[in-house]
């Protein structure tokens, strides 16, 4: 029934080999017990971290806002978060009071953002212990509180028509707070130091994709050929005879 046995079984062999390689790829045998996917994910995260350090520039851009005083009522996620955030503002030289999930703040926008950028900088360089000691609770939660505060600050500043200030608060959130949170505890590496692995992983991805496609295509074509041969054997007259018995 298989007219092209060599091609058919070649396609089957390619598919089996593909699955074997896939199994090996997901075994926890790479870089400290990681599977291949986790290892490559960590590799590319560490490489991208080296080119995602925007904090020095953001600090420089913050200088004009140090003379800008703000009075805002921010809405936090919960009363507990509002209370925790009071210490962040106190360390910034601002005054803050929490009532329910509302956080009333008064002080220099630039000085508040300086403290936020300092915390983000420490977290970006994996110095979370310093941030934790500074406020007395989990360092990731500190950044999350800054994120929530800046998000609410953006809305309240826009309500007051302070659009440049609102835009910069969002910039600090995206380029400092979020970036530091996402890259926390990842060690940065230069792409030049891992060039061999980067090239290998990209070539592997291309070849492996083509490999799978070729195996599927070969089997599909041959299966269609077999189906066509079967249909040609069973002619309409023969089909009628079979039906009538």
Indicate whether 244 pLDDT > 50.
no
Q: Tell me, what's the pLDDT at 145?
A: 98
Indicate whether 245 pLDDT > 50.
no
Residue with the larger pLDDT of the pair 13 and 159:
159
Q: Tell me, what's the pLDDT at 47?
A: 81
pTM over 0.95, yes/no: no
Q: Tell me, what's the pLDDT at 242?
A: 38
Give the residue-averaged pLDDT of 126-149: 97
- Pick from 2-16, 135-149, 218-232 the range whose average pLDDT is largest: 135-149
- Summarize pLDDT for 73-88 with one digit per residue, the tens: 999 999 999 999 999 9
Q: Check: CB of residue 225 under 8 Å from CB of residue 4.
A: yes
Compute φ and ψ for 232, nearest 5 degrees: -70, -30
């Amino acid at each position: 029934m298989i007219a092209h046995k060599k091609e058919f079984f070649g396609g089957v062999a390619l598919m089996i080999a593909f699955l074997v390689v896939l199994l090996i790829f997901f075994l926890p045998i790479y870089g400290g017990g990681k599977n291949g996917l986790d290892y490559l994910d960590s590799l590319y995260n560490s490489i991208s971290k080296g080119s995602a350090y925007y904090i020095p520039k953001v600090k420089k851009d913050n200088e004009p806002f140090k003379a800008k005083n703000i009075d805002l009522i921010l809405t936090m996620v919960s009363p507990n978060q509002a209370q925790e955030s009071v210490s962040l503002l106190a360390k910034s030289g601002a005054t803050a009071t929490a009532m329910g999930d509302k956080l009333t703040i008064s002080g220099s926008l630039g000085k508040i953002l300086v403290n936020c950028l300092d915390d983000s900088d420490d977290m970006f360089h994996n110095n979370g212990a310093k941030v934790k000691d500074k406020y007395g609770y989990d360092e990731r939660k500190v950044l999350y509180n800054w994120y929530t505060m800046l998000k609410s600050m953006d809305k309240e500043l826009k309500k007051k028509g302070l659009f440049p200030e609102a835009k910069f608060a969002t910039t600090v959130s995206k380029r400092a707070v979020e970036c530091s949170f996402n890259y926390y505890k990842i060690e940065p590496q230069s792409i030049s130091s891992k060039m061999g692995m980067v090239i290998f992983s990209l070539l592997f991805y291309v070849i492996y994709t083509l490999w799978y496609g070729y195996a599927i295509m070969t089997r599909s074509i041959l299966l269609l050929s077999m189906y066509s041969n079967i249909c040609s054997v069973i002619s309409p007259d023969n089909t009628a005879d079979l039906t009538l018995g």
